[in-house]
Amino acid sequence: MADRVTTLIEKMKAAGDEEQRQVLTRFFKTGKGDYGEGDVFLGLRNPQTRAFAKEFSDLSFDEIQRLIDSEYHEIRLCGFLILVEKYHKLQSTRLKNDINSMAGRDSIINFYIANSTRANNWDIVDLTAHKLLGNWIIERTLIDLPEKEDAIQKLAESDNLWQKRMSMVFTWMTSQHGHPEYAIRYAMFHLHHPHDLMHKAVGWMLREVGKRCDMDILRDFLADYHAEMSRTTLRYAIEKMDEKERKYWMEL
């Protein structure tokens, strides 16, 4: 009888669609020299992959490792989404301050960070970083906050594009909880990164500061740094402002 990981992989492969596979191959820039060079797709939509992650959320770390090590994008994504499912189960009111649950959340994050280079496209990062790293930073666990912040900083300082994007996108959650300082810190850190995917991430997270925390915090940041931003970053950052104010910042 096939083990559960093999069963999951066979189910995912059977659910793949050739037309969708071709769409995803183009959309995620898998050509030579592109950011997703060599990535291989099955042709699943995200709701399908999420459903598989929920169905198999009790897999062990060793079993999840097999998914994350897969050549197929959706199977890797499924492995990371299972981590999100596991983390979420340990966040309930009943378990939030339970010692074993806090240790469990730390273990999930340590596993996530250890495998962070395998989250090698922007969608995997964007579907997981805020739900894992973002929650971890703002919640009490057995790891002290300075050590958590050091772990995020190491991701930011990495030469790996996807780890860098994690260190920006995790702030989506911290801003939702009224902590804009993380988004501001890493927007400044990544402001001059040359890659378009980082320009978009920085602008997006700055926009969330204005939306979730205080528009004046965003305005203060723009007043200081708008001239140093890429136009992409600026456009993303001001997207929720009214037309008159957007025009002001673009023409300043």
217-236 pLDDT per residue, tens = 999 999 999 999 999 999 99
pLDDT tens-digit series, residues 183-206: 999 999 999 999 999 999 999 999
Distance CA 44, CA 34 (A): 21
Residue 4 near residue 56 (C-beta atoms within 8 A): yes
Residue 206 near residue 233 (C-beta atoms within 8 A): yes
pLDDT tens-digit series, residues 74-85: 999 999 999 999
Distance CA 27, CA 48 (A): 18
DSSP 118: G
Residues in the chain, overall count = 252
Distance CA 47, CA 17 (A): 14
Residue 65 near residue 54 (C-beta atoms within 8 A): no
pLDDT tens-digit series, residues 128-162: 999 999 999 999 999 999 999 999 999 999 999 99
Residue 57 near residue 85 (C-beta atoms within 8 A): yes
In the chain, the percentage of residues whose pLDDT exceeds 90 is: 96
DSSP count for the chain of H helices, then E strands: 16, 0
